[in-house]
């Protein structure tokens, strides 16, 4: 599972080939776990203890358990829309890392800060703030769709692709509207690819700011996306 090397902990985790081939949801979950563990190492000489992760203090109560079950039931309601989106991504001819990323977006399984708070990995509320706007707490919907910075990026891409704004749509609903708006303009097999490319760029931009301390210039980022769309997907 892992080991110490020169005082540094290294995880040694592999995803089962069967899971990779046959279970997209399980694969997305597995990648999620690996990513969550990447920045975590065991504390030497500490005693293990059990935490109830839905609560910040780690202590179980019925209310949080009820909320957890209610949220899971809500997830089941939207499952059919999500399944269609997962299928669409599954059929798209793209690199597997982009496919897995897409599944995780659809299933809200990216390690955004709200998820890390839920798991007790982030405890300081200042760390929850979105690195794009530095104003609102970061969750998947905010970061990739609702943030004022992400909105500028999307607006610019809408202009480039000659489609109308979709301010109120997020996640799976956004994928549906976005791809519908592009039918007839772009080859069908590339619709999902374009959506994922934009999200992937936003996500990497966010990661570079957090993990590499990079300062990203918005105009450069939009240019990068447009260049990527034109070159990689032959939009011209």
Nearer to Zn ion, 192 or 221 (CB): 221
| In the complex, minimum distance from the CB of residue 223 to Zn ion, in angstroms, rounded to a whole number | 21
Rounded Cα distance between 29 and 64, Å, is: 22
- Three-state DSSP at 187 gives coil
Q: Is 160 in the site for Zn ion (CB under 5 A)?
A: no
Number of chain residues interacting with Zn ion (CB under 5 A): 4
Tell which positions 168-207 bind Zn ion, by CB under 5 A.
Answer: none
| In the complex, minimum distance from the CB of residue 149 to Zn ion, in angstroms, rounded to a whole number | 6
- Three-state DSSP at 5 gives strand
Burial of 156 (0-12, 13-18, 19+ CB in 10 A): middle
The CA–CA distances, whole Å, from 120 to 47, 55, 117, 138 equal: 17, 8, 5, 15
CA neighbor of 109 nearest in space, from 29, 3, 21 = 29
Nearer to Zn ion, 98 or 209 (CB): 209
Rounded Cα distance between 135 and 93, Å, is: 37
User: Per the structure block, which two tokens stand in for 203?
Assistant: 């996500």
Nearer to Zn ion, 100 or 140 (CB): 140
Tell which positions 128-157 bind Zn ion, by CB under 5 A.
Answer: 130, 132-133, 147
Nearer to Zn ion, 144 or 225 (CB): 144
Q: Which stretch binds Zn ion (CB under 5 A): 6-14, 53-61, 122-130, 221-229?
A: 122-130
| In the complex, minimum distance from the CB of residue 208 to Zn ion, in angstroms, rounded to a whole number | 16
- Note the residues at the interface with Zn ion (CB under 5 A): 130, 132-133, 147
């Amino acid at each position: 599972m892992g080991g110490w090397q020169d005082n540094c902990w290294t995880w040694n985790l592999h995803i089962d080939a069967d899971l990779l081939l046959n279970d997209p949801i399980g694969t997305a979950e597995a990648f999620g776990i690996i990513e969550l563990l990447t920045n975590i190492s065991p504390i030497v000489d500490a005693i293990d203890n059990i935490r109830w992760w839905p609560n910040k203090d780690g202590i179980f109560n019925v209310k949080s358990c009820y909320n957890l079950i209610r949220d899971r039931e809500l997830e089941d309601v939207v499952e059919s829309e999500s399944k269609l989106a997962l299928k669409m991504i599954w059929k798209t001819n793209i690199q597997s890392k982009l496919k897995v990323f897409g599944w995780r977006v659809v299933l809200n399984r990216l390690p955004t800060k709200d998820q890390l708070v839920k798991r007790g990995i982030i405890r300081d509320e200042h760390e929850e703030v979105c690195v794009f706007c530095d104003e609102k707490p970061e969750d998947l919907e905010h970061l990739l769709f609702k943030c004022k910075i992400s909105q500028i990026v999307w607006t610019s891409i809408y202009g480039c692709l000659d489609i109308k704004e979709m301010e109120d749509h997020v996640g799976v609903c956004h994928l549906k509207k976005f791809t519908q708006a592009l039918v007839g303009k772009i080859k069908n097999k590339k619709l999902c690819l374009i959506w994922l490319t934009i999200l992937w760029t936003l996500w990497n931009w966010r990661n570079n700011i957090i993990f590499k301390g990079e300062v990203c210039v918005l105009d450069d980022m939009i240019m990068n996306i447009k260049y990527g769309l034109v070159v990689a997907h032959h939009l011209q």
